[in-house]
Structure 1
Amino acid sequence: MGAKILRYFAGGNTAKGFYSLYDSNLADLERVFILSGKSKKEKSNIIHHFINKWNEYDYPMEIIHRASNPDDVEGLIIRNLNFAIVDGDHPREIGKEQICSQWETIDLDQSDRTAHLEDELNEVIDLKLKIEQSYLKAYKAYESGLKVHDEWERIYIDHMNFDLADNVAKSLISTLFKKPVAPANKDSDVKRRFLGAATPIGPVDFVDNITEGLGARYFIKGRAGTGKSTLLKKIAAEAENNGYDVEIYHCGFDPNSLDMVVVRELGWAVFDSTQPHEYFPTRAGDEVVDMYELTVAPGTDEAFAEEIANIEARYREQMKLGKLYLAEAKKYEDELEEIYGKVSDLSQTNLMIEELEHLLVNHSSHS
């Protein structure tokens, strides 16, 4: 039997540019191996090696997926062994908040393989520039999309009953925290992540994986601007104030908003269950909380139908553009990987894996 695997994104392509939440997940670990090197594929292969190896030991694992290619991975955390191995190259920000003495950078390019790229050096430079430009265009599209989304929100905010929204929050918080609170001497451990990301193939999320095994799931429904994120922020604050460990999942489009709060000690998740991560109840313990039905003046959808349709069309157009530019960036990244593949040294990679295995075995024997 394999270990319980939790999958999520720690960095995302958002309306605020590339947004990193790595430090929140790495900060308390004793040993972090940060992989540095030109080839993303090489780093992913090394991480996959350790996922397969440690999966045999039945340790719970956290696998961090790559937003630029969601089938690929860029990090592995095993908290029982207090260690992680991650791709630490740009645009990720790792170690900004806290650097532990046991954090170690592994340079996969230490043999200076660029010496073997002389014939293709201009092509490499050109592809890197194209990749950077494609990402900038994607972020610009998402930024424009967020401005359109603000127009969408304004319609519902103007027709929302905030007293009713407060009552919904109080009622749900009362339900979620009806069990005895955690001991007062326990500090809350807060982890910030993304449950989904904008990717070259469109939005991808891990809602089913993250909520697997939880006894209760609350699906927050509603339109843009109906207080879903505000509700989640109140729930997260309550969990933190009561000393519970809490997983806070930020919105992959606007990282200032929240998409999900999970408190495993109490066995529940509350999440924004609207597009692009729309889910419906499928099991016992699933419950819908519809903010539109509960807090917005009846008939708002109908009264503003034409305006909403116009806004939605403009919003979808920007999302489509963003996806197009992310796909363009991936195409250039794949071409770059082909060039790096020509000078990759499998024996050197295997030596690096052996060295890391030795370090991890020694580390785990003392954990």
Structure 2
Amino acid sequence: MIIPVYIPDWQIGDGDIAPPAIGQLLDHVLVLETPDVNPHGFYGCFGTEITLACVAVPRPDHPGGELGTFPTELECEGFSVFWAAPRRVAGHLTVTGILSATDYGAAPEGFPRVQGTIVALTESSLIYATENPEGTSWVPAPGEPQMLRPLGSYPPPAAPASSGPSPHKKVTGCVVDVDTSVTDEPAVAARARFDGLIKVRLFPDYAGTALWLHDPLPYHDSALSPSLVAALQEWEASYYSSLTADDEWVSPEAAATFTVTGNSLAQKLAEELGEMFAVEFHSYEHGAQRRMFTSGVPAANPAAASALLALVAAAAAEKARLETFSALPGTGWFAYSPLSETTFPPGVDPGTAGGPAEPPRPPEQ
């Protein structure tokens, strides 16, 4: 069964749940929130509703439970969730609400955890505004709908709601679709054939390029063919023109066109780069899945493949140089390269693919 689970940004930032990504396992106590429990709260602003057919099993009161509610275990198809029911219930029933991984004492100690593989991930944003003239209390702006954007993995923590003008959009968390029938990370296993390939990501993000090698990759550094660069620039420009002022699609047709064109460009990019690279594209169209593209044959554009190999190798060599330098007496700092996680195909030496690494320099006295 696939269930949507809301994970707040603050819970990810606190480290209670690792930043989620497609293919990861979720292992957590889940809580069902229904509007009849807290009608004056923000129910409906966060997450995605689900209707569960289940068996309700009353639980004894526990420390930390909300007063005036009835602790209940909902036994669903292959998993259980906790519900602070507004009245005593037992037996078969159907209930609608929002599943959340925000437990923090809501469920009794030892409550069953839910396991499953994340098969889709959607970033959740809301418009926040100050509740008073002094600007000391920030709340979701009334009447503003939740905004959802599909992603492959969760981005770095967003700025706190207390910063920026009022009103402004803030990332509140994400909704992950969890397949509770699969707990062996099938998405990771299915992508095992891409292990050892250098990954290039394709997506527009107001960076002046749609190419990403961990960091944005300027077109003039890629050595791609002029025709492909022009097509990528046109595609990125069409994306921005297909959005409303609230960063929503102007129409479902515009979103679908973005996906189809992106898939085509990702395959062309993979063909220019060749068998040592994999191109990842995850469309912003709602419900779209992350896809990987490879060619399986030598590069159609050897200059582009060499340019990217040199960039990756140079970053790896710089990281190695800084690690060596940080280990010398009198140095207590370490610089992290965003390309540090890059893996090289068999036979490619990261120390020589981009030229010889610069030897470490002794610290200045």
TM-score, normalised by the number of residues in structure 1: 0.23
Higher RCO (C-alpha 8 Å, min separation 6) = 1
Larger Rg: 2
Scaled by the length of structure 2, what TM-score is found? 0.23
Query: Which has more strand, going by share of residues?
Result: 2
